[in-house]
Structure 1
Amino acid sequence: MVKKILISILLLCAGIAAHAQQPDAASKASLVKYQDTLQQLSKDIFAGRGDDGRQQACDAFIPTLVKALKNKYSFKFPFDSLKTVSIQYPKDSTFRIFTWALEHENGFYRHFGAIQMNTPDGSLKLFPLFDASDYMANTDTITDNKYWYGCLYYNIEHRHYFNQEYYTLFGWDANNPRSQKKIAEMLTFKNGQPVFGGPFFSFSADSVKKPTRNRFIMEYKKESSISLNYNKDADMIIFDHLISESNEPEKKHTLVSDMDYEGFKWTAGKWLHVEKIFNDAIPLGKGAPVPQPLDVKKKSMTNPKSAEDYINEQSGKNHK
């Protein structure tokens, strides 16, 4: 009987705590109002008139977002109407990352973002992200939020190892008129501050050894589509193997998927490279399927698709 009473009290306290962490009526009304403004600004960032129009919308979006997030317990507000802004959470919900892209008329992109921490008292703790990718002489480096490799994040995989939390971020960079990129990198927190990158992508098991990377970047042909993401069923990161369609692998804009796959397996606190997976994916004697081209007009700024996605969509249409 006493045990049941204690459990009931604990459940009641948990329910009260959960309720207390929600924005109150005034804060929620304020957040809804800010969201309406942010929704229009985000549309203008994505499809506004000219560089000046999109830049002005972006310049207005940033302080408006900060004002919105200053509302108590704003972390609990999803901002789910912002369709061109990616908002990603790890499994433990200790933070969330906002990222968005600004496209210039010359076909180049600049990225913006912020990390909002989930604070116990509902106050705002925010780390703005400053895109320095165009100025990095060495992209395989460890950085902070003030020197960020800008991209749109589309997934976060959380791991715990030796009393440390590790968050693998998966991002997409539309890059320039000739190529695009996908990125995997580790986010950790040191003394409460975000740290991007680190020696977590190991190739020590490869037949030909390569240096451990602080950041894994795949650059490939603009019109192509590839996958780079964590696969829950396989419990590993899976990505397309790339080849040059013109036999010039040093020219990244010629790289496309050959429909073979590589991966990374989480081993002793690192992602260990697996040279080849799904060995039976392509039947003997048959060539690799040609990846479906990316329709730029239908591109998603928050959910970039892989070759598999396009093939599955096409297969679905054929069976209707």
Structure 2
Amino acid sequence: MFPRKIIIVVLLALFFYESNTVQAQTPANKSLLAEAEKILAASAFTILNGDDTEDRLRADSFFTRQLVQALRTPYSFHYGFDSLKTISRLYAPDSSFRIITWQLMKDFSYYRYKGAIQMNTKDGSLKLIPLYDGADFTENPYDSIRTNQNWIGAVYYNIIQKEYNNKKYYTLLGYDENDARSTKKWIEVLHFDLEGKPLFGGKFFNYPNDINKPKQPVSRFCLEFKKQANAKLNYDAKLDRIVFVKLMSESNEPNKKHTLVPYGTVEGFKWEYGRWVYIPEYEAVEPD
């Protein structure tokens, strides 16, 4: 059992932490952020659903400026912006940062991704790292570690925290509309350098080459498949694995990614010694 003094110290530390967090979230701050959220909600909806390209571009520009202004409110990190349903807001499991991402469609064949990382600062000040979509400026999006300046864009829907050699790694699962014929789902490992700058990708994947998957070596993993085929890729917390559907070409043309559809079985990855290691389909599901 823990000594009584240690338990008291821990409880006091938790009490003061929670008290400070509550005090930081003053009624005035909450009111400012709630008003900003109402303004942001309208433009966020238009970014995704506006009928005209100009309307979507204008809404995106307005949203970006207003979001940054709202995040300058002290301790905005703790405000969830829950009504922004078309904007992804994922907190790291350790609450060290949150990543905000969204999609801007210019037409049905061209999509851009926007985003930012907001760090959790002790004094409540804003430390915001913008993300710039560099996918249009590369022929091989799998080839290298990238920074916030040439990020491979996606709307992230899950985040998994792992550790190796006392360093934290955050695996992001993302959705990318890609173009008029195919959709992509990404597995991207985010980590931070000694200066606190984000790095995306690295030697984190171990799997045999497969015509349906990016050819090894890769710095990030991607499933590309037929538009609206709804190919599953997500983290199974119970199994502690990333599980994704096996794909096959419906026209026997596997080189044409827009012909790939779910096959009915699944594959996966498990975290081992700082890498996502491939799991064959017969091991990727929970045994009966």
> What residue number does 1:55 align with?
57
Query: How do residues 300-311 of structure 1 correspond to structure 2 at under 5 angstroms?
Result: none
Once residues 263 and 208 of structure 2 are traced to their aligned partners in structure 1, the CA distance between those partners, rounded to angstroms, is 24
Note if contact 2:268-2:284 (Cα within 8 Å) is conserved in structure 1: no
> What residue number does 2:157 align with?
154
Note if contact 1:202-1:213 (Cα within 8 Å) is conserved in structure 2: no
In structure 2, the residue corresponding to 1:15 is in which secondary structure? helix
Q: Shift in Å at residue 185 of structure 1?
A: 1.0
- Structure 1 segments (4+ residues) deviating >6 Å: none
In structure 2, the residue corresponding to 1:273 is in which secondary structure? strand
Structure 2: unaligned runs, 5 residues or longer: none
Q: Shift in Å at residue 27 of structure 1?
A: 1.6
Query: How do residues 165-176 of structure 1 correspond to structure 2 at under 5 angstroms?
Result: 165-176=168-179
Between the two proteins, what is the percent identity of the paired residues? 43
Once residues 135 and 73 of structure 1 are traced to their aligned partners in structure 2, the CA distance between those partners, rounded to angstroms, is 36
In structure 2, the residue corresponding to 1:239 is in which secondary structure? strand
> What residue number does 2:191 align with?
188
- Once the two structures are superposed, residues 197-240 of structure 1 have per-residue CA deviations (whole angstroms, 9 ceiling, x without a partner) of 1110112699xxx7342100111000311111111111111101
Is 1:93–2:95 an aligned residue pair? yes
Instruction: Give the aligned CA root-mean-square deviation in angstroms.
Output: 2.2
Q: Shift in Å at residue 138 of structure 1?
A: 1.6
Indicate how the Cα distance of structure 1 residues 250 and 33 shifts in structure 2: closer, same or farther if over 3 A, else same: same
- Once the two structures are superposed, residues 255-289 of structure 1 have per-residue CA deviations (whole angstroms, 9 ceiling, x without a partner) of 011011111111111001112235899xxxxxxxx
Indicate how the Cα distance of structure 1 residues 180 and 13 shifts in structure 2: closer, same or farther if over 3 A, else same: same
**Aligned with residue 234 of structure 2, among 229, 235, 248:** 229
**Aligned with residue 163 of structure 1, among 166, 187, 193:** 166
Indicate how the Cα distance of structure 1 residues 243 and 18 shifts in structure 2: closer, same or farther if over 3 A, else same: same
Once residues 256 and 23 of structure 1 are traced to their aligned partners in structure 2, the CA distance between those partners, rounded to angstroms, is 47
Note if contact 1:200-1:212 (Cα within 8 Å) is conserved in structure 2: no
Query: How do residues 229-308 of structure 1 correspond to structure 2 at under 5 angstroms?
Result: 229-277=234-282
**Aligned with residue 124 of structure 2, among 122, 127, 132:** 122
Comparing 197-206 with 94-103, greater Cα deviation is found at: 197-206
* TM-score (normalizing by structure 1): 0.81
Note if contact 1:205-1:274 (Cα within 8 Å) is conserved in structure 2: no
In structure 2, the residue corresponding to 1:264 is in which secondary structure? strand
Q: Shift in Å at residue 31 of structure 1?
A: 0.7
In structure 1, the residue corresponding to 2:280 is in which secondary structure? strand
Structure 1: unaligned runs, 5 residues or longer: 282-320
Count of residues in Structure 1 that have an aligned counterpart in Structure 2: 277
> What residue number does 1:15 align with?
18
Indicate how the Cα distance of structure 1 residues 202 and 212 shifts in structure 2: closer, same or farther if over 3 A, else same: farther
> What residue number does 1:290 align with?
none
> What residue number does 2:31 align with?
29
Once residues 155 and 70 of structure 1 are traced to their aligned partners in structure 2, the CA distance between those partners, rounded to angstroms, is 25
Note if contact 1:95-1:117 (Cα within 8 Å) is conserved in structure 2: yes
